[in-house]
Structure 1
Amino acid sequence: MVMTNLVIVESPAKAKTIEKYLGADFTVRSSYGHIRDIQKKGMGIDLANGFEPTYEISPDKKKTVTELRKLSKAADTVWLATDEDREGEAIAWHLAEALNLDVKTTKRIVFHEITKPAIQAAIASPRTVDMDLVEAQQARRLLDRIVGFELSPVLWKKIRTGLSAGRVQSVAVRLIVERELEIEAFQSDFVYRLQGVLDLLDAQGKPCGQLQVKRTAAFDSEAEAMAFLQATSSARLTVQSLEEKPAKKSPKAPFTTSTLQQEASSKLGFSVKQTMVIAQRLYESGKITYMRTDSVNLSEVALAQAKQVITQDYGPQYSLTRRYKTKQADAQEAHEAIRPTDFGVSEVMGERNEQRLYQLIWRRAIASQMAEAQLKRTTVDIAIDTLPGDKLTAKGEVVVFDGFLKVYNLDTDDEEGGLLPPMHIGQPLALGELVSRQSFSRPPARYNEAALVRTLEEMGIGRPSTYAPTIDTVQQRGYVVKEDREGTPREYRQLTLNAQGVQTQTLTEMAGTEKNKLFPTDIAGIVTKFLVAHFGDILDYSFTAKVESEFDEIAKGKVTWQGMLDNFYQKFHPKVLAAEDVSREDAGQARPLGNDPKTGKPMFVKIGRFGPYVQLGDGENDEKPVFASLMPGQKMDTLKLEEALELFKLPRLVGQMPETFEATAVDGTLFKAEKGQDIIAKQGPFGPYLEYGPKVYAPIKGYSPLAITLEESVMLIEAKIVADAEKIVRVFPGSDVSILKGRWGPYIADTVTKKNAKIAKTEDPMELTFEECVKRLEEAPEPKKRGRAGAKKAPAKKAETTPEKAPVKKTPAKKAPAKKPAAAKKAPAKKAST
């Protein structure tokens, strides 16, 4: 059969879903994402000629492009069906260019959901590629390339080789760094808060119920809290006032990209990247609408369908149609919020996390079209006759009509309890127990991924499609780490009043525990400080948001992309040239700590390839400096001279191995520590460790190398010996192939080629044949190269070397682009090379 229609989409999963809804004369193929990008060699942008970019087909996409060209020539009609945002529009344009299609006549179709009606409606009303959207995306890509290409070499020369900078990436890092500085500068204070339980008494003076009460105002000191409790201990307590009033709770709008990322983080524990990957799969399989959107609007078809489902499943009293409006004036990525394509489907088949995320989306969308929850809130004030100007308060909340809460519970900070017992004004109460606890003020909260997304969105930085890649990039580049950190013990005072009188206690709590929070690394602080000092406008929050608005203006056809880039570059490039005169010390690489009291030599804290370190001596008079790496948890900005001096106490002889300890692996390899062997605590580029023989090491975890005892060291060494022996699960005699135990379970390893191959969790590694292991190793990818040449050298030595020359061709300063007239609108360059 002769093919008459070729539909091109980005992903195979999307192609598979769409193909089900089209006839036999339609062939659907995937481009597997972007097929072209700015050429890798050099900047790839002609700065002197209107910022014309040179595009090239990605090496891994040449085969795909060849196939698509062949199919497009055989087709009567080619339909470009990439996503409906700017990124999708750009992919459509690149496809037209690479396949030699006429962009002015080639049919372009978009759809917000992958359903049969949506696909058929798109086919019935095609358009052409929107060049305004293409140019807006191209402007973003070119500006980010220029910033990264010119800024990164500056960082290599002035701070450390291999660093990177980016317009949005660096601003996100700045947010995290500045939050950390706020936390470090925070001075904690405390108050005493009071809460407890009182017994309601009936006419006979017998208990007939309990009230959870609190004092709204806190005490400034323990003395004030003690005075209150002592006065209350002999007081007559009565119900002073009783107020009941109706209240209501309204549902939130359906999900946008950012609110989905935030809610999936808090309710499901997903990372931002994980949320988008799963949402992409749900979209491509036709289960939800497009997941990159900043709109909260729902279509009329969706509103009608939601009303039908709610009325049918819960009753007409639960239905309330709402039309939400997006608050952001510049919302542009899509026309509808994230919702199920079929409200009648509350659960889907598939992988567990797909089911969980789908249910979250369904609940949020269906709840947005349901009635408010009707509540009754009760407030009771308790009079204290010995303290006429004071009172205790009890609050309760009862759901009269659950409304949207039937399907979607909100996480609230409401302190109200449930239903309060019946009572009347003047009713007496008896003391149960009142507790006044010392409560410390908290510093600003560190960002987690969801909170950072919320902040970026509120500040107008980035767009729905950029949040996840930005957060992933700052972690991949080593500027930010996401991790859990244990708190530190902290004492607090507690005063308790009960029938036995007032008791005081000093108790201990863990303060500062963090889970899945974003922490800046030392290099993030140094780079941010340098960039703010010399490229303040690039890292300025309002400037970054303004740039996003300019992209929006390009998308609307009001501004030319060349004019926007020219205006930016004329201000940016001179600052790059000026930064050449900044010394490495001024760039923040070295910070003097003072002089060693014993030798008088100067001490500095610096940043090296393996992280921050301390240098003793300045290298003058041919005297070689001495170096020491910082301990985990120590920071360059806060390190003191006394702490730095402690670092030079390593290596430290802990003691000698009291008894020989050994363990034998399945291949007969003997792992052991000899009696009388020296145990030395050291600090390396990857953390502290114990050395207990030639090239025999055990990492120190949970202890300080400066304070670890002999008994603790022996325990760690023995654990390491056992772990090394247990790592070898199986060997194949006469070969270099073995099965080892890794972090995620057994795997196949070749000790010569260093290649590894996976073993499924359902497989028994003892049943695998040698031939099967060899076959899997042959099919396994080549091992990734780690580190760089000379990575085994001492970090301090490497830190002193001159950074390698940036592998880029510097743009001559004289070739600043000429300004274009505002009306001179030019289509993106057509320099495609195959």
Structure 2
Amino acid sequence: MKKSLVIVESPAKAKTINQYLGAEYIVKSSIGHVRDLITGKSQNKEKNKKHPNESIFAKPNKKTLLIKKMGIDPYHNWKAEYYILPGKEKIISELKSIANQVNHIYLATDLDREGEAIAWHLKEVIGGDSSKFSRVVFNEITKHSIKKAFQNVGHINMNRVHAQQARRFMDRVVGYMISPLLWRKISRGLSAGRVQSVAVRIIADREKIIKNFIPEEYWKLNLSLFTKDKKKIEMDVTHYNNKIFRPKNRNEIYYAIEKIKKSLFFVKNYEEKIFYKTASAPFITSTLQQSASLRLGFSVKKTMFLAQKLYEEGYITYMRTDSNYLSKHAIKKVRTYIKNYYGDDYLPKEPNLYSNRKHSQEAHEAIRPCDIKIENINSDNLSSSAKKLYKLIWNQFVACQMTSVKYKSITIIVLADLFKLQKNEQIVLFNGWTRLLIEEKNINYEFPVLNIGDILFIDKITPNQKFTKPPPRFSEASLVRELEKKGVGRPSTYSVITSKIQDRGYVKIKKNKFYAEKMGEILTIRLKKSFSNLIDYNFTAYMEEKLDKVADNKIAWKNVLDSFFEDFSKQLEKAKKSPEEGGMELNSIVPTSIKCPMCCKKMGIKTAITGVFLSCLGYNNIDITKRCKQTINLISLNDFNKEEDNHRQMSLELMNRCDECNMSMDSYFIDKKLKLHICINNPSCLGYKIEKGVFKSPVYLSEIIQCEKCNGDMMLKTGPFGKFFICINKTCKNTRKILPNGEISDPKLEPIPFPQLLCKESDAWFVLREGISGIFFAANTFPKSRETRSPFVEELARFQYLLPEKIHYLSSGPIIDDYGNKTIVCFDRKTKKHYITSKKEGKFTGWSAIFIDKKWCVTSK
């Protein structure tokens, strides 16, 4: 009997599914996408191919070249040209070979639009009789789900494929057609994205609000009162003369205090209410990303990577979903679990049901555990981070089907002349789902028994000075929430969005908060003016709805593309014109009075993808031989300054206002005696200020750095990953990083050969090296042999004489732990320090020791 071929996306998924299917099935993986739209690079392999509209005699024009680069032709019914991704030829050849030998082919790729598109591409490249292909979808890799899926096979949903293609084509058009314009008008290396640019705008708009925010002083008044039987109660003054009580200065608050001291306090209202709070819905993609960021500190990218692993191993349902739906089978299982493990008090009479969100596009389930009985994963196949994420998902799923939390809400209102005082308190009467999700203690605060009309007496008056604060910067969690709220992108794309805007240098993350880079701000302003629709929140959300309608077969996908391209082309043609004709404004250099140290010409403020710097105006000399290429790095004060207190922040904002447009100014160090303040509207605004003095500057501005390898001088540079020093000796190329605290990183450890320590996987020997994860042993024949491992402490002790002073202390550590296991050297990325731990049979024992006050201390057992 002939077998059937089942094609999935990942090897891990194939391995898991293979356990549940019989011997009559061959399960193979495509390892993700197998083909993509052709690009300029991919065309180098196919130079002899001609575009259908290109004459073999004529030199291709700009439009034809652009179409070839994009791989799509928006001018001729959106014809597309695909190519096999590099490295996938062997996989496709194998799939074709097996396909010719089987009766049937099941395309079991993921159940979202991307998975549907991969299934279609696989069918296209394998070819053959269409009747041999069937589409299989399942949202969890369990025996029950897979068996059910193979009993209900279908066909590829071309509407969903077209929706995915429409998104891909629009993104390709924006990227390939705007980027050349940005290179000409603003700076080389720039690009725009249909959705990514909107995300940058969200961050840049918030950045502008924060920079222009001026704190305002206000005061609050807290009173400690007591009853005639000496029972105390804390209350806040909320109103005066039926208006919100908000004194603006010290005089106003002291006037209010003197007045309130003479007032009679009596209870106006005392009210108790019982209310219930249900648990939040089970996780969808976006809420999982937010919760993992807030509770576990995971990035969106890491969360999705770990969730993919959990899904492929069969622990959770499909992780790309925006549906809150839960199957009856899953609800039945979890309700039984709650009853057995938590009791009837925690089980609602009826299941808790959650409605889907407005733009929910998928009909499958929310993210939940496949087997509710597995509370914690014990498998060695998954990392500790993956296990933590699973526990988070398990807790949320179980909690969402538990009883509500029961609260008692107490509201007390006290009047004193024209003043109104209020106290609100909540007391947990029954913890419900919070028994599982959060530690919420039952408050046993005893309120005094109060009746309307009771008289109260002053015990203590506490005035509190406050300052208004700007809206907070976005974290990854809050950015995802904002994207979701505005309907920008889809949950499955948030990971790509947050990664791309950082990789391209438009924003950076500092202490888990997004900061807009200057180039990100300039790009946002230019795109706002020239491509208003492109980064308009409503328009972007509108396009997402259009794509949803394409997937539902309500509108034709090429009609959506035609409409988009018509408007986009008009804006593009206008943007190409000169600024005087209404075209995109240039990223001009802003002249300053600062002289170039090389040629004495004036220097100007310039912004590039690497940051803001001073560039000699002599660079534009018509005579190339006389051009001056001198530049001066500008060090942003924000790169190392700690958060200012409210008084300091307010004075800075008031002082550093642009004389030209009255906007706030960004501040930079030129050197330890010069500061440069630049208008945030630069280069549109020419305003700047030079401040002279002796300033507390970063360590690296006040020290002369010499290369530890060749003793030459080192020059400060700015690159894609921040500031660093590089040796001016071109044959040396040694570098030193600038740490977040403004200090210079220690010199890298020179590789130390250990020919006495032989590798196991080859006949090479080890070299001690230093990387981002501390010291490690690596084969001396790298990259031929990639064998690496952690050093044993006994090895470092044995060859102590080879070690530099920097790591000499590691050789003095414990050679064995308390149980006789050999110890190894590891590195903590958070503290940036080495520590000693031990393993037994390949697993960490939990024992560790750290070096404190020149001695080793055991910290855990």
TM-score (norm 2): 0.72
Query: Aligned pair in 2 of structure 1 residues 540, 646: CA closer, same or farther (>3 Å)?
Result: farther
1:108-187 paired onto structure 2 within 5 Å: 108-187=135-214
Query: Aligned pair in 2 of structure 1 residues 680, 438: CA closer, same or farther (>3 Å)?
Result: farther
1:240-639 paired onto structure 2 within 5 Å: 241-317=269-345, 318-319=347-348, 320-328=350-358, 330-350=359-379, 351-384=383-416, 388-409=417-438, 419-425=445-451, 431-484=458-511, 516-582=512-578, 587-592=585-590, 595=593, 604-608=604-608, 610-615=610-615, 617=617, 624=628, 627-632=631-636, 633=638, 634=666, 637-638=679-680
Paired residues of 2:73 and 2:79 also in contact (CA < 8 A): yes
1:354-379 CA distance string (max 9 Å, x none): 22222222222222222222211112
Paired residues of 2:260 and 2:419 also in contact (CA < 8 A): no
Distance 1:562 1:539 in 2: 22
RMSD: 4.2
SS of corresponding position for 1:643: strand
Query: Aligned pair in 2 of structure 1 residues 465, 693: CA closer, same or farther (>3 Å)?
Result: closer
- Between 1:237-246 and 1:219-228, the stretch displaced more is 237-246
- Between 1:563-572 and 1:574-583, the stretch displaced more is 574-583
- 1:193 equivalenced with 2:220 (yes/no): yes
Tell me how far 1:536 sits from its aligned partner.
1.8
Aligned length: 697
Amino acid corresponding to residue 538 of structure 2 in structure 1: S
Distance 1:615 1:47 in 2: 41
1:720-739 paired onto structure 2 within 5 Å: 723-724=746-747, 727-728=749-750, 730-731=752-753, 738-739=767-768
Q: Structure 1: where are the runs of 5+ without partners? A: 485-515, 663-668, 705-715, 771-834
SS of corresponding position for 1:398: strand
Residue in 1 aligned with 2:117?
A: 90
Paired residues of 2:487 and 2:541 also in contact (CA < 8 A): yes
1:789-808 paired onto structure 2 within 5 Å: none
Paired residues of 2:408 and 2:426 also in contact (CA < 8 A): yes
1:621-662 CA distance string (max 9 Å, x none): 9684853222123566437533388999x99999999xxx99
Paired residues of 1:86 and 1:333 also in contact (CA < 8 A): no
SS of corresponding position for 1:74: coil
Distance 1:577 1:430 in 2: 74
Residue in 2 aligned with 1:79?
A: 106
Paired residues of 1:68 and 1:99 also in contact (CA < 8 A): yes
Query: Aligned pair in 2 of structure 1 residues 754, 223: CA closer, same or farther (>3 Å)?
Result: farther
SS of corresponding position for 2:533: coil
Residue in 2 aligned with 1:643?
A: 690
1:218 to 246, 250, 262: 246
SS of corresponding position for 2:769: strand
SS of corresponding position for 1:465: helix
Residue in 1 aligned with 2:29?
A: 30
- Between 1:359-368 and 1:132-141, the stretch displaced more is 359-368
Paired residues of 2:3 and 2:25 also in contact (CA < 8 A): yes
Query: Aligned pair in 2 of structure 1 residues 656, 23: CA closer, same or farther (>3 Å)?
Result: closer
Residue in 2 aligned with 1:9?
A: 8
Distance 1:140 1:653 in 2: 47
- 1:50 equivalenced with 2:54 (yes/no): no
Tell me how far 1:422 sits from its aligned partner.
3.5
Paired residues of 2:778 and 2:789 also in contact (CA < 8 A): no
Distance 2:173 2:296 in 1: 38
Distance 2:433 2:246 in 1: 36
Paired residues of 2:204 and 2:520 also in contact (CA < 8 A): yes
Structure of higher RCO (CA pairs closer than 8 Å, 6+ residues apart): 1
Query: Aligned pair in 2 of structure 1 residues 688, 109: CA closer, same or farther (>3 Å)?
Result: closer
TM-score (norm 1): 0.74
1:93-108 paired onto structure 2 within 5 Å: 93-103=120-130, 105-108=132-135
Query: Aligned pair in 2 of structure 1 residues 680, 352: CA closer, same or farther (>3 Å)?
Result: closer
1:267-298 CA distance string (max 9 Å, x none): 22111111111111111122111111111111
Distance 1:655 1:398 in 2: 57
SS of corresponding position for 1:324: coil
Distance 2:794 2:503 in 1: 33
Distance 1:327 1:670 in 2: 59
SS of corresponding position for 1:605: strand
Tell me how far 1:440 sits from its aligned partner.
1.0
1:414-451 CA distance string (max 9 Å, x none): xx976333323366656554322211111122111111
Paired residues of 2:505 and 2:609 also in contact (CA < 8 A): no
SS of corresponding position for 2:433: helix
Distance 2:266 2:710 in 1: 74
Amino acid corresponding to residue 278 of structure 1 in structure 2: L
1:423-481 CA distance string (max 9 Å, x none): 23366656554322211111122111111111111222211211111111111111111
SS of corresponding position for 1:59: coil
1:684-710 CA distance string (max 9 Å, x none): 666486999998997776899xxxxxx
Tell me how far 1:608 sits from its aligned partner.
3.4
Amino acid corresponding to residue 401 of structure 2 in structure 1: Q
Paired residues of 1:114 and 1:286 also in contact (CA < 8 A): yes
Distance 1:380 1:682 in 2: 62
Tell me how far 1:79 sits from its aligned partner.
0.9
Tell me how far 1:7 sits from its aligned partner.
1.0
Tell me how far 1:167 sits from its aligned partner.
0.7
Query: Aligned pair in 2 of structure 1 residues 690, 323: CA closer, same or farther (>3 Å)?
Result: closer
Distance 2:159 2:613 in 1: 51
Residue in 2 aligned with 1:811?
A: none
SS of corresponding position for 1:142: helix
Query: Aligned pair in 2 of structure 1 residues 295, 187: CA closer, same or farther (>3 Å)?
Result: same
Query: Aligned pair in 2 of structure 1 residues 389, 647: CA closer, same or farther (>3 Å)?
Result: closer
Tell me how far 1:767 sits from its aligned partner.
6.8
Paired residues of 1:262 and 1:450 also in contact (CA < 8 A): yes
Query: Aligned pair in 2 of structure 1 residues 194, 477: CA closer, same or farther (>3 Å)?
Result: same
Query: Aligned pair in 2 of structure 1 residues 255, 101: CA closer, same or farther (>3 Å)?
Result: farther
Paired residues of 1:4 and 1:75 also in contact (CA < 8 A): yes
% of aligned pairs identical? 34
Query: Aligned pair in 2 of structure 1 residues 5, 527: CA closer, same or farther (>3 Å)?
Result: same
Q: Structure 2: where are the runs of 5+ without partners? A: 44-68, 239-244, 639-665, 668-677, 757-763, 800-861
Query: Aligned pair in 2 of structure 1 residues 95, 692: CA closer, same or farther (>3 Å)?
Result: closer
Distance 1:193 1:595 in 2: 48
Amino acid corresponding to residue 518 of structure 2 in structure 1: D
Tell me how far 1:17 sits from its aligned partner.
1.4
Distance 2:210 2:630 in 1: 33
